[in-house]
Amino acid sequence: MSAIAVVLKGLGFEVSGSDIKESRYTNVLKNENIKVYIGHSRENVKDADAVVYSTAIPQDNVEIVASKEKNIAIYSRSDILAWLLSSKIGIAVAGTHGKTTTTSMISLIMRGLNLDPTIIIGGELNELGSNARFGKGDYVIAEACESDGSFLQYKPFVSVVNNIEEDHLDYYKSYENLKQSFIEFIKNTKPGGLVVLNGDEVKLPPDFVKLSNVRILRYGLDPKNDVCAENVKFSNFTSSYTLIVKENKKFKKIKVKLNVPGTHNVKNSLAALAVCYGIGLDVSEAARVLGLFTGVKRRFEKRGERNGAMIFDDYAHHPSEVKVTLQAAFTEKKERVVSVFQPHRYTRLKNLHNKFGGCFDLSDILIITDVYGSGEQPIPGVTGKLLLDSLIAEGYRKKIVYIPKLQDVSEYLQQNMRKNDMVLVMGAGDVTRITEELLKT
């Protein structure tokens, strides 16, 4: 929502908004001269021409009710994002994970090539210092979140799908419904546009009807893809590889170096470079600019050191995200990897608690907290202990500790972490507070 506000302000609208508490994002908006009210009140909407709400806002919210009474036009966040993506050359990045990093990489490249894009990201791009940017160029780059199906409103010129895995089954009810939703997203690509797929993981169904006048590019580590990588190496929190682009039965090879580790980041970068190649940008220049990418906040972000232990913060909350994050950590560890994991949402844990088997195997110590509900009501029997019991049942043999309260986790770490440990804090909720507590003194 804050990203939408920044872009609408850039377009010349007078923008104000409300939230339940102060945050980094409300401060960013205030710096953009956007009025932010703390707390919800019918007075906040005043004589607005339109009200935009997020999926976190219920229909009985006092500002929504007041807007209806005043006959003010009401739009969802996805309504506005769909409009913005259609207003220029829209690039929408979808997938169960990797959306934020891939969107950020494309954004950095286009800024580096002086294309002045409009950017709407779910996380904060380090080089931008924000999650949004209004640009006067021809491109709008945005994440397309599948959580509630609203991404099917988008009609982008470029559609990217990084992966499709079980998630948000509280909404979709089945994995088949989720996959079909992504197929519909692909079909919504504008005529003459581009579809970029992870060829290693995303397979179109046999009955998929070829899109009229839409080009499909596949990327991945498999050399059968249109855009792929060879000689992948990791060292000192960086990655390097040789990019291979297939052009008219010829191979173009380009050296790529990333200032972020992990196979998942190599794949994210391949997606970004495939987009650049597909829309006709100079791929060699794109690769050069990508070398300046230093990551996104809460994506394997090194927050600092405490008594010789390195403290990292990561947004990983889905089983696959946890696994690849720990793989990246393992390649860089000196002594032990101490993982802290906060399960995100009761419904997700209920649906996926038995999918975490093998995900934490590279941890030397695993600490599990209680669930961050993210607005959901608790489900009886669905706590962090459910995950612990599932891991033990799956044969997990490393040291595992269940500490429900974050404050107690901080105290445990201060007493038990050692020099040269890598402390990896993971989760999409407020678990990031632990990194702040550890680095206070």
Instruction: Classify residue 295: in a domain, yes or no.
Output: no
| Residue that terminates a domain, selected from 75, 96, 112 | 75
Q: Are residues 277 and 147 in the same domain?
A: yes
Q: What is the CATH number of the domain that holds 44?
A: 3.40.50.720
Residue 86 corresponds to which tokens in the numbers above? 């259609």
Q: What is the CATH number of the domain that holds 253?
A: 3.40.1190.10
Residue 257's contacts (CB-CB under 8 Å, 6 or more residues apart) are 238, 239, 240, 291
Instruction: Classify residue 129: in a domain, yes or no.
Output: yes
Q: Give the model's pLDDT for residue 32.
A: 87
- Quick: pLDDT tens for 59-86: 999 999 999 999 999 999 999 999 999 9
One of 100, 101, 432, 435 is an active-site residue; which one?
Answer: 100
Q: Report the chain's terminal Cα–Cα distance, integer Å.
A: 34
Residue 87 phi/psi, 5-degree rounding, is -75, -25
Q: Is 100 a catalytic residue?
A: yes
Query: Does residue 244 have a pLDDT over 70?
Result: yes
Q: Are residues 286 and 306 in the same domain?
A: no
Q: How confident is the model at residue 128 (pLDDT cuts 50, 70, 90)?
A: low
Mean pLDDT of 129-155: 89
Instruction: Classify residue 107: in a domain, yes or no.
Output: yes
Query: Does residue 245 have a pLDDT over 80?
Result: yes
Of 38-42, 82-86, 332-336, 366-370, minimum mean pLDDT range: 332-336
One of 9, 26, 63, 99 is an active-site residue; which one?
Answer: 99
Q: How confident is the model at residue 375 (pLDDT cuts 50, 70, 90)?
A: confident
Q: How confident is the model at residue 97 (pLDDT cuts 50, 70, 90)?
A: confident
Q: How confident is the model at residue 267 (pLDDT cuts 50, 70, 90)?
A: very high
Instruction: Classify residue 81: in a domain, yes or no.
Output: no
Q: Are residues 254 and 397 in the same domain?
A: no
Q: Are residues 274 and 371 in the same domain?
A: no
Q: Is 347 a catalytic residue?
A: no
Q: Give the model's pLDDT for residue 21.
A: 87
One of 63, 101, 103, 143 is an active-site residue; which one?
Answer: 143
Q: Are residues 355 and 434 in the same domain?
A: yes
Q: Are residues 98 and 235 in the same domain?
A: yes
Instruction: Classify residue 272: in a domain, yes or no.
Output: yes
Residue 160 corresponds to which tokens in the numbers above? 């990217």
Query: Does residue 317 have a pLDDT over 70?
Result: yes
- Quick: pLDDT tens for 165-176: 888 888 889 999
Q: What is the CATH number of the domain that holds 411?
A: 3.90.190.20
Question: How many domains, the chain?
Answer: 3
Q: Are residues 236 and 354 in the same domain?
A: no
Q: Are residues 206 and 140 in the same domain?
A: yes
Q: Give the model's pLDDT for residue 326.
A: 92
Instruction: Classify residue 82: in a domain, yes or no.
Output: no
Q: pLDDT higher for 211 or 244?
A: 244
Instruction: Classify residue 161: in a domain, yes or no.
Output: yes
Instruction: Classify residue 296: in a domain, yes or no.
Output: no
Q: Is 201 a catalytic residue?
A: no
Q: Give the model's pLDDT for residue 410.
A: 92
Could you list the residue range(s) of the whole structural domain that residue 340 is in? 301-438
